[in-house]
Amino acid sequence: MRALTRLTVIEAKLMLREIAGPAFTILLPAALLVIFGLPGSAHEADPALGGHRGIDTVIPSMSIMVSMAMVAFFMLPVVLATYREKGILRRFATTPVRPAVMLGAQLVLNVGVVLLSIVLTLVIGVAALDMHLPNLALVIPTFVLGVLGLFPIGLLVSAVAGSAKAATGYALALWFPSAFFAGLYVPVEWMPATLRRIGDFTPLGAFRQAIQAAWAGDFPHPQHLAVLAAGFLLAGGLAIRFYRVS
């Protein structure tokens, strides 16, 4: 535990030296919330959203989904792939501090980045955009399951990528279709039934739907929770199977 704490502090200092990436990940969701939450239509009840307002459902869930994807698909795997490429993980394997401790430190930091993004989104939404305070008893467990379902995908990317450049390429290949089926480009409610159905079975799409329901005060659909659980088991198992330090 002491080794994890010390290494987390060291990794946090290194992250602060290159703050552009984490800052972008934290600020972009808040910017999206403001851009899409300012128009009056976002504050009107929408029958397509079950009578809820966009500012209480679609918009914050989109912001949180973007933050989660940026961290899980890009930040986490690229950093770990960089460490492998530079031989840092291999050197850790020869010391009492095992590479797993480095992995734990990165997970703690990246979860922290997503949490900061969500807190900023919540504060701006409630204080400045008339967003209703969500039911945190539903949002927090859904967020935790989202971390468990999406972060292993990033670990799998870092496991199979031989370099930071390769990890970025894999992440981009995952991001564009995942974001589409999660409703970033076209709202899920406007998609044809077939595309919506496909999105329900993608980890990012399932998380978007689950966090949107939780944010609106509804219990997430069991299917979406099951998809996230399956992502944890499948991607996590493959990451363990293929992970290497060199």
What pLDDT does 6 receive?
A: 85
Distance between CA 44 and CA 242 in Å, rounded? 49
Q: Residue range 218-243: average pLDDT?
A: 91
CA 184 to chain CA centroid, nearest Å: 14
The pLDDT of residue 90 is above 90: no
| pLDDT, tens digit, 9 for 90 and up, residues 96-135 | 667 677 788 888 999 999 999 999 999 999 999 999 989 8
Confidence of residue 93 (pLDDT cuts 50, 70, 90): low
Q: How many residues does the chain have?
A: 246
| Buried-state track 119-129, b at ≥16 Cβ within 10 A, e below 16 | ebbbebbeeeb
Q: Which carries the bigger pLDDT value, residue 100 or residue 54?
A: 54
| pLDDT, tens digit, 9 for 90 and up, residues 179-224 | 999 988 887 878 888 999 999 999 999 999 999 999 988 999 999 9
| Number of domains comprising the chain | 1
What pLDDT does 37 receive?
A: 93
Q: Say which residues have a Cβ less than 8 Å from residue 8's Cβ, sequence separation at least 6.
A: 104, 105, 108, 109
The pLDDT of residue 9 is above 80: yes
Domain that holds residue 105: 2-242
Q: Residue range 134-147: average pLDDT?
A: 93
Confidence of residue 163 (pLDDT cuts 50, 70, 90): confident
Q: Which single residue is written with the structure tokens 């403001």?
A: 34
